[in-house]
Amino acid sequence: MIKTHSLVHNNIADFFRPLIVVVTGLHFQSWCLKKAHYLVYYKVPKRIRQYVDKMIQNSGPGMKILLMDLKTTAVVSSVYAQSEIMQKEVYLCDRLDNFKNRDPLRHLKCLTFLRPTDENIHLLCTELRMPLYGQYFLHWTNIISKADVKRLAEADEHEVVREINEFFADYIPINPHSFITNIPHGPIFSEVDLMDDKTAHSIGMALMSFLLSVKKFPLIRYTDWSLPCQKLADKVQNLMNKESNLFDFPQRQGKPVLLILDRRDDCVTPLLNQWTYQAMVHELLTIKNHRVNLANAPDIPKDFREVVLSPEHDTFFAENLYADFGTVGQSLRQLVEKFQEKAKSHQKVESIEDMKNFIEHYPHFKQMSGTVSKHVAVVGELARLNEQHNLLEVSELEQEISCHSNHSQNLPRLKQIVANPKVRDIDALRLVLLYALRYETHSNNDIMGLVTKLKGRGTSEENIALVRSFLKFGGAKKRKSDLFGSDPVAVTRRFIKGLQGVENIYTQHNPWIKGIIEDLMKGKLKESQFPYFNYTGQRGQTATMDPNYRPPEVIVFILGGITYEEALAIHNINRTENRLCVVMGGTAMHNMASFLEEVKSTFSRKQGDFDGV
């Protein structure tokens, strides 16, 4: 039986610093880390992997089953393949809510890795009253209340629980420098620009979980005009104050800054077609929990209708995440040639020595074969979609609209492309939305004429209504950012860039957040637009805060979701700084399709004609 006692705080060096409550009879103990290299903090997938390793290690030797919920399944699968975790004596992985279909296996140790939700607490209490396994080691991805610990203690009638641990992993790692919360919440934005308390609490808890996992107690800055950003800043600050004992770790070189931004300040980036490998796959095929569905690709082999693309488990993918599509094709060709050489060497099995070499190298050969076949299938489908739907022509005009103000040339080209039957409906809509955002205030804009052309090609009324919704969501009257560079300094920067030229006309665009982060790191970010949130939970700047403060590390969080193009921008900033100093998070990882759904959820009106702006 578990009984709750007061926590005894001890300083024990370890790989990480979650609050870990180790239950052995009546003994509770809190562990914390005092030594770790700060570069490790921002290896986001590595942090989650360390948690899983420690969870398995703490349970001791013996066969194990890992029980998860829907969200933690995505967390674990982002850093561990099932075959890999089986090598650590975890022979079964299942869902907590699958109780009726799981057989009693008393010889197994059960590791649970769950979010501390009411549903999970209820399901686990039910299982503890009728345990299927010999021992239970309970792990939570965020803070669990004393009341819930008491409920679990009362349900543990058979005294099978050995540990209760809090591992702060209430987020999904995407890349070494990016993550998403990906937790259930209501609409973030609304027509009245308010975010409900439950949504703010859910996102705030997930963000606090990330801060604890990377051991950061940051200063908070936020988008001043955005009420949702202000509310989240307030929620995170209050949570940090409430759990101040958990944030008691040393600061080596000044406080980091958590910068909370509003997606509505930049609606252009999620609309653009992409030409780097990871971003292009997500835009055209969609990456969900590192899985890509190729079922709609013609003549795809059965084994490749769904493939896994994870930089943690796929060296080729990791090396080409940010490579442009042409470079990926060249790298894939080299990989295929290398594989062909390996295949030829395996065909010559004439002696015992040849047989030994074949057996020794066969696992690597088989893995290489799977990697080659997988990426040939993915790249082949990307190439097919590009050719079939004129994506190069579409993307070139996207870049022209988003990066250059040349209305007289852009409008005729846009009308021509929208009328082209080879162009997909979503790409025609994409171009019209970009045009509407760019030229909303232009005296000669022809938004109505373009909407008429969309209707003429059979675009649905729901998507027609999006043109109006987009301008209400992130148009000139809503956003406060200088998105298209009307500021004289921004115009000068664009002019100089134009003189220097660009390497690729399809990747001219730079996300808005790139300039924001660079200004913050230089101590030039305007405090009037991005104020500090003080320690008392009140809006405004603290008395001792230097307005030109240059933080050593930045955590930028975008309410409304992030994109892979922005992840590339963060990667390039870190590469320029030659250190991992910036990490980015958001409520979702968007492509255009998911971003359209985000905008639709903001407005109750789903259908209706576009009747002017």
Average pLDDT of the chain, as a whole number? 84
Residue 494's pLDDT band, with cuts at 50, 70 and 90, is: very low
Residue 275's pLDDT is 96
Do 340 and 372 contact (CB within 8 A), yes or no?
no
Give the Cα separation of 409 and 470 in Å (integer): 23
CATH of span 44-167 = 3.40.50.2060
Residue 97: how many CB atoms within 10 A of its CB? 14
Q: What is the pLDDT of residues 180-220, one digit of tens each?
A: 997 776 678 887 778 888 899 999 999 999 999 999 999 99
Intrachain domains 44-167 and 170-266+511-604 with the same fold = yes
What percent of the chain shows pLDDT beyond 90?
67
pLDDT, position 182: 74
| Tokens standing for residue 77 | 């699968």
Concatenating the DSSP letter of every residue in 204-273 gives HHHHHHHHHHTT---EEEE-TT-HHHHHHHHHHHHHHHHTGGGG----SSS--EEEEEEGGG--SGGGS-
Examine the pLDDT at 9 and tell me if it is beyond 60.
no
Higher pLDDT, 38 or 475: 475
Helix (H) or strand (E) run with residue 407 in it:
helix 407-418
Hey, is 440 helix, strand or coil? coil
Spatial distance between the Cα atoms of 275 and 398, rounded to a whole number of angstroms: 12
Q: 170-266+511-604 falls under which CATH superfamily?
A: Sec1/Munc18 (SM) protein, domain 2 (3.40.50.1910)
**pLDDT number for residue 254:** 84
Res 250: pLDDT: 79
Span 481-506, average pLDDT: 58
- Please indicate whether residue 193 or residue 1 has the higher confidence score (pLDDT): 193
CA distances from 165 to 31, 113, 208, 513 (A): 10, 9, 17, 37
Residue 461 has pLDDT above 90, yes or no: yes
pLDDT in the model for residue 361: 55
Specify the pairing of strand 64-68 against strand 582-586. Answer: unpaired
Structure tokens at 592: 């255009």
pLDDT tens for 395-432 read 999 999 999 989 999 999 999 999 999 999 999 999 99
How do the domains of the chain map onto residue ranges? 44-167, 170-266+511-604, 291-389
Burial of 190 (C-beta count, 10 Å sphere; 0-12/13-18/19+): middle
Q: Which of 51-65, 72-86, 517-531 has the lowest mean pLDDT?
A: 72-86
**Percent share of the chain, pLDDT over 70:** 83
Predicted confidence band at 495 (pLDDT cuts at 50, 70, 90)? Answer: very low
pTM, full prediction = 0.86
Stretch 234-254: mean pLDDT, rounded?
Answer: 88
Q: For 604, which DSSP code?
A: S
For the cut 90, the answer to whether the pLDDT of residue 12 exceeds it is: no
Question: For residue range 138-163, what is the model confidence (pLDDT) as tens digits?
Answer: 999 999 999 999 999 999 999 999 99
Our CA angle for 155, 157, 159, nearest 5°, is 110
pLDDT of residue 363: 60
